[in-house]
Structure 1
Amino acid sequence: GAQIFIDGWAMVAPGDPELAADLAKRAASVSHDGEAIYGAQAIAAMKAQAFVEPDLNKLIDTAVRLIPANSVISRMIQDIRDWHSKESDWHKARESLADRYGYHKYGGNCHMVPNHGLIIFSLLYGDDDFQKSLMVVNTSGWDTDCNSGNVGCLLGIKNGLAGLQAGPDFRGPVADRLYLATADGGRAISAAVTETLHLVNAGRRLAGREPLALKHGAQFHFDLPGSVQGFQPEDSIETQGTVTVENVIGHSGSGSRSLALHYVGLAQGRVARVATPTFIPSAEVADYFDRRGYSLYASPRLYPGQTVYARVVADQNNEQAVRCKLYGRPYAANDELGYSSGPEVVLAAGHDCTLEWAIDNPDLSPIACIGLEINGDGGTGGTVYLDYLRWGGTPNVHFDRPDHGGLMWKRAWVNGLDHADRLTQMDFYPEPYRLLQNHGRGLMIQGTREWTDYQASARLTPHMCRAGGIGVRAQGMQRYYAMLVDQETTRLVRTLGNDTVLAETNVGWCFGRPYELTLRIIGNQLVGLINSEPVIEAADPDHTFEGGGIALICEEGRIGCDSVRVR
């Protein structure tokens, strides 16, 4: 754990291995000590220095300089370098590594020492080649996924896109798509480019620089070379073989690149559609992760009440005009994907326009993807460029049990309560949500950090619980504002690891009775209502949370929830 989670520390400290090693040590010390920390520091330092130093042996020198010379990690690195200088066959050298530092000497669940050795080993025997290095580290066994991640990250930093593209197409099949393990569910369905900018801007803040906002902060900007940000052709009967995507230079009003959609054979019943995920893409994907033991917790990124914008440009050599519109795939009956779309616009060759779609159905189930549809007649072929796609606005959405059944509407909640499977994988209680918490405080969270000023309402019925309520601007299990009610009081709290009480009043609730709780936030001002009557208000002088989703909260007991509204 100490070693696999250090990539970010290097990326926010480019060219500063001392800072990267310090950040890695502080983070690793939460759960590790000794050699685990040294290994984390060594890899973090190498990656930070790789931004400015192309020589692998000098990177290793940097790593060993920052850890104790008498440590196991330092001695092992020296042994591996000695074997590499004397033995050209990596298979034989791997036997030496296993004999001296293998799992039989460092037991437990994926001990860090042997796997750190394989990282250094694979970098040396990989001849600075991305594909060969990954082949060596995977073929060598042990903790293959983590080791591959560390090796690939370092070579990606050191050799850039040219090194990544020197062999097979590693980028195309993935299409930048990324699932992020976080309780901040609006960030879970992500893309490599999105997380790149998060890391870049974290590093810029550390360096005292202003953050980047490519194409004025559009969620999808395509302004980095080769990036498609999750956009792929839709695989349906009417769309198969009609379109390909490619990142190209130009055709942008505020940036330098765009996403080219090359379409062919458009006719009645044959359309071109490309889309990117905004939520778990299918019930099958959710079930797959459950079976693997790593449930995919995520919230949708896009909601009813928000408006989607996209600038499109028709290539000047197109022979015919086409009809373009935005579309989405909300979940429908039996968790199959439905279809919803915005207004259609005719786009002639050489022209551009900004598509706009206000998603106005508050009862719409989670939207699995957002994309662009192109229609034409008579076997139309050509190219349309997608400059950017973005959305904004306050959500206006009802989180109730849908008439069409299914369970993906429940999977839209990041569930930090006890008995999580009963809440998100089953639906047999009379109320849509039954909050169960054995010890302490539990939360169910939905929404994104793009939500800023809004109000959340929930109809709650407390049953033998210590307290309960609703939260706003939730950014995870320990970052939110909340209105908490017990039998005697109502409190407004700011939770950042620990609770800070912003206001308290002697208004409580009775078990077994339903209450409509509403929490409104505008700027740093919070107002709490019970059954439509204002009962408490406060301000956060520190403006701690600028945005975030909603939370349903239960402390030690059971609470029924009949309906949830955000607007």
Structure 2
Amino acid sequence: MPTIPGGYAERVYAGVLGKLIGVYLGRPFEGWTYDRIMQELGPINYYVNERHDVALRSHHLVVTDDDVSGTFAFPRTLADCGFPERLTSQQIGNGWLNYIVEDRSVLWWGGIGNSTEHTAYLRLKSGVPAPRSGSIELNGKTVAEQIGGQIFIDGWAMVSPGNPEQAAYLAEQAARVSHDGEAVHAARLLAAMEAQAFVEADVQKLLDIGLGFIPADCLIRRVVDDVRAWHAGDNGNDWERTRALIAGRYGYDKFSGNCHVVPNHALVILATLYGADSFQDAMRIANTAGWDTDCNAGNVGCLFGIRTGLAGIDAGPDFRAPIADRMYISTADGGASITDAVIEANALIQAGHRLVGSKPPARPNNGARFNFDFPGSLQGFCAKPGEAASLHPLQVGNVEGHSRDGHRSLAIGFRRLARGRVARVATPTFFDKDVFTMPIYQLLACPTLHSGQLVETRVEAGSSIGDVSVRLYASVYDERDELAPIFGERLPLQPGQDAVLTWRIPDTGGYPIFEIGLELETENPLGADGTLYLDYMTWSGAPEARLYRPDDNLSTMWKHAWVNGASQFQTRWEGLRVTNGEGIGFVSQGSRDWRDYRVSSVITPLLARRWGLAARLQGRERYYALMFDEVDGGRVTLLRRDHEEMVLASDRFAWEVDRPYALELRLQDVEIQASVDGRQVFSVRDEGRLPLLGGAVGLVVDTGSIATKAVDISPL
């Protein structure tokens, strides 16, 4: 039986970081040629997103990108399916249908026959299951052999440490949802290499392992053999010569389509060989070589992150501090969209242990959302800029010690903090308005923190800290979509003192919370110096909140707190009106942390084939719902949807359009109670193999429109 190798957790974290760094490095000039990069940018040694001397796509560093969203969203299918021994392509295809919102999330929506992934999605949507959805037989060789099968493989490798056979199998099943032929061979080879990199550092041996999982006569093998031979011919000293040879034999002009896998796979092998044992050299080569830079550098970054670990990433320029672990995973499961490298690494680590049948390691501080136990981790925490006169600068970094149950903490250092000024450090719980200027990929996300939730954090004052007090604070959007702070109680600190702060988030009036953090202040007229250590910060459980239009359409950020999986989401009339032109559409808000709760709403069907109220929603295809339809003259049904619908209870109900109905669902563990107009209609236990134990709330409509003023939620 496979076992988990030593150092697994930290290497997964390094692999996730490597993926992010590679994508963020290469994204601004994705698609550029080597010649253009050298002419306009020169060798890529660091992030260029803020360079003003070239016409780059965007100033953003942390961006919504298919390479990130697909890589970390699709492996969630493992948990959704109960960690089966052999996850199938069809199950992963179902995951696509669950997590992707058409034309809005994860993929490049370039059109059928133009975008490989869009083509495959339309096949899946029309009822064609994977792997046929991505087959050459159905879509043609050009469409099926583009790069996408390769760029999403890293998660499958990171749940398969030291097990290249499992990694190659999972990568193939995932790749075949949308790709075929050489694209699948490339996916298998890279996944096997990354999995073996947990236990083997030698690049040549990793290549031999990877080649063992692809056919002897395939083009990808010939590419690898050629690049290895060219590398050996110059003793690994002239990557630019080999790049030119690749362009001459395997360049874009030799293949049809927008972004063929073969040229880019060749550059991945180029960077892997010439990068040797240097993460920095591998990143420079993968990005400077051109073509699909974010995809290629993302794969190379993950491989080298696993191989060289955090020490390898930290051996050169500081790639980590500017991103502070931050990432967006834009899916229909919006509560998991605002995330970071630690959260995603922990999910993969848990999956890796589950797949070998071992007990996952206990996470520090009872699994706190933010804990900093990985060296250098920041989880989005950064000092708020001192642009306002009242904000004082801080230094933030990860250090050893000062943790009750873990090994590390976040050090918040300050000097000469003056009375009358404050210093703040915070992490995002939602997105800012600047997100709307990000190109190409839309971000669908729900806030991770809501009214009524209890925030808990432990802090420790340094031994030389001055006269300082600390309090929790949050920034909340208002009717002008501007941010305003709200505060918990202030606590004075003495040198060496530790304290646990708790704060129940007050009613924000329907406006979303953008960030959560700490504020420092001193009453000493001489000012204060010192260091405050943040051990952990966390919250969980359902909120006590009303989700509604908080003003007369003066603001918009509250609306973006809903994931929109419907044709239209209107806010002009009653407050919330959901319309779907054909089939099932929904809007939702919340996360899988919302487990036991009561949700209610007074809903008016305006015109609909089916409609209702959803709970524990985990995407487009996974939820419970109290639904009304037209069967037998009218029916009310309590159902569970997990790609297929299971009726848990049903009864006749002659409902009418244009009439409001008060709906309520109560969910506690596997028990579900449903009421209509104050009368309980169903009480059931979902004792199936994999009940849905947590998730968002939602409004669901099938071919029509429904309206409501608000959705109310409270914990049980």
TM range, smaller chain: over 0.9
Match of 2:304 among 117, 134, 155: 155
Distance in 2, matches of 1:556 and 1:224, equals 48
Rounded Cα–Cα distance in structure 2 between residues aligned with 1:28 and 1:507:
45
- Alignment map for 1:313-324 (pairs within 5 Å): 313-318=460-465, 320-324=466-470
Q: 1:118 to 1:494 in 2, by over 3 A?
A: same
Q: Deviations over 1:217-243 (max 9, x none)?
A: 100111111111110001241465521
| More displaced stretch, 456-465 vs 495-504 | 456-465
Structure 1 equivalent of residue 559 of structure 2? 410
1:265 Cα shift?
2.3
The alignment partner of 2:161 has SS state of coil
Map 1:396-407 onto structure 2 (within 5 A): 396-403=544-551, 405-407=554-556
Task: Select between 305-314 and 79-88 the one with higher mean Cα deviation.
Answer: 79-88
Corresponding residue SS for 1:444? strand
The 1-side partners of 2:504 and 2:695 are apart by: 21
Q: Match of 2:196, SS?
A: helix
CA distance in 1, matches of 2:346, 2:403: 19
Query: Letter of the aligned partner of 1:106 in structure 2?
Result: F
Verify the 8 A CA contact 1:238 1:271 in the aligned structure 2: no
**One-letter amino acid of the counterpart of residue 275, structure 1:** A
- Shift, 1:364, TM fit: 4.4
Q: Which amino acid aligns with 1:194?
A: I
Distance, in Å, in 1 between the alignment partners of 2:629 and 2:243 is: 62
> Which residue of the partner structure matches residue 220 of structure 2?
73
Deviation at 1:539, TM superposition (A): 1.6
Structure 1 CA distance for aligned equivalents of residues 382 and 405 of structure 2: 23
- Between the two structures, name the one with larger relative contact order (CA 8 Å, sep ≥ 6): 2
Which is strand-richer, 1 or 2? 1
1:126 Cα shift? 2.1
Determine which of 529, 532, 542 is the counterpart of 1:384.
532
Q: Which of residues 428, 436, 461 is equivalent to 2:579?
A: 436
CA contact (8 A) 1:415 1:445 kept: yes
Give the deviation of 1:293 after TM superposition: 2.7
- 8 Å CA contact 2:612–2:628 kept in 1: the answer is yes
CA distance in 2, matches of 1:82, 1:390: 52
Amino acid paired to 1:383: T
Q: How far apart, in 1, do the equivalents of 2:397 and 2:706 lie?
A: 50
Q: What is the distance in 1 between the residues matched to 2:160 and 2:445?
A: 29
Deviation at 1:362, TM superposition (A): 5.8
What does residue 32 of structure 2 align with?
Answer: none
**Mapped contact 1:242–1:270 kept (Cα < 8 A):** no
CA drift at 1:478: 1.0
What SS is found at the alignment partner of 1:333? coil
* Aligned counterpart, 1:189: 338
2:589 to 441, 446, 452: 446
CA distance in 2, matches of 1:42, 1:536: 52
Contact 2:510 2:549 in 1 (8 A): no
Residues 325, 374 of structure 1: 8 Å contact kept: yes
More displaced 10-residue stretch of structure 1: 348-357 or 501-510: 501-510
Answering whether residue 373 of structure 2 is matched by residue 223 of structure 1, we say yes
> If the length of structure 1 is used for normalisation, what is the TM-score?
0.96
Q: Tell me the CA shift for residue 28 of structure 1.
A: 1.2
The alignment partner of 1:392 has SS state of coil
- Give the match for residue 275 of structure 2: 126
Higher percent of residues as helix: 2
1:321 deviates by 2.7
Q: Deviations over 1:254-275 (max 9, x none)?
A: 1111111101222233211100
Secondary structure in 1 matching 2:548: coil
Counterpart in the other structure of 1:202: 351
* Matching residue of 1:558: 705
Q: Is the 8 A contact 2:476 2:508 kept in 1?
A: no
Supply the distance in 2 between the matched residues of 1:139 and 1:256 (Cα, whole angstroms).
38
The one of 594, 617, 635 aligned to 1:474: 617
Residue 460 of structure 1 aligns with an amino acid whose one-letter code is: I
For normalisation by structure 2, the TM-score amounts to 0.76
Partner of 1:509: 655
Counterpart of 2:254 in 1: which secondary structure? coil
Which residue number in structure 1 is paired with residue 421 of structure 2? 270
Who is 2:4 aligned against?
none
Alignment partner, residue 514 of structure 2:
368
In 2, the alpha carbon distance for the partners of 1:330 and 1:12 equals 37
| Partner Cα separation in structure 2 for residue 63 and residue 142 of structure 1 | 23
Q: Is this contact kept in 1: 2:510–2:548, CA < 8 A?
A: no
Structure 2: how far apart are the matches of 1:265 and 1:554? Answer: 58
In the alignment, the residues of structure 2 paired with residue 314 and residue 206 of structure 1 have an alpha-carbon distance, to the nearest angstrom, of 41
Give 1:49's aligned residue: 196
Aligned residue in 1 for 2:317: 168
Uncovered stretches (5+) of structure 2, i.e. residues with no partner: 1-147
Tell me the equivalent position of 1:258: 409
Would you say the 8 A contact 1:485–1:508 is kept in 2? no
Taking only the aligned residue pairs, the percentage that are identical comes to 46
How far off its partner does 1:184 sit?
1.2
Q: Distance in 1 between matches of 2:654 and 2:415?
A: 64
Query: 1:128 Cα shift?
Result: 2.6
* 1:346 equivalenced with 2:497 (yes/no): no
Shift, 1:214, TM fit: 2.2
Asked whether the 8 Å contact 1:362–1:396 carries over to 2, the reply is no
Aligned equivalent of 2:691: 544
1:492 maps to which residue?
Answer: 638
Q: In structure 2, what is the equivalent of residue 359 of structure 1?
A: 505
- Aligned equivalents of 2:508, 2:475: Cα separation in 1: 15
The answer to whether the Cα contact below 8 Å between 1:242 and 1:265 also exists between their aligned partners in 2 is no
Q: Distance in 1 between matches of 2:508 and 2:546?
A: 6
Q: Contact 1:238 / 1:269 at 8 angstroms: preserved in 2?
A: no
8 Å contact from structure 1 (residues 458, 561) kept in 2: yes
Following the alignment from structure 1 to structure 2, what is the Cα–Cα distance between the partners of residues 373 and 119? 45
What is the CA deviation profile of residues 53-97 of structure 1, one whole-angstrom value per residue up to 9, with x for unaligned ones? 010111011010111010010111001111111244222221221
Partner of 2:259: 110
Query: Which position in structure 2 is the counterpart of 1:463?
Result: 606
Unaligned runs of 5+ in 1: none
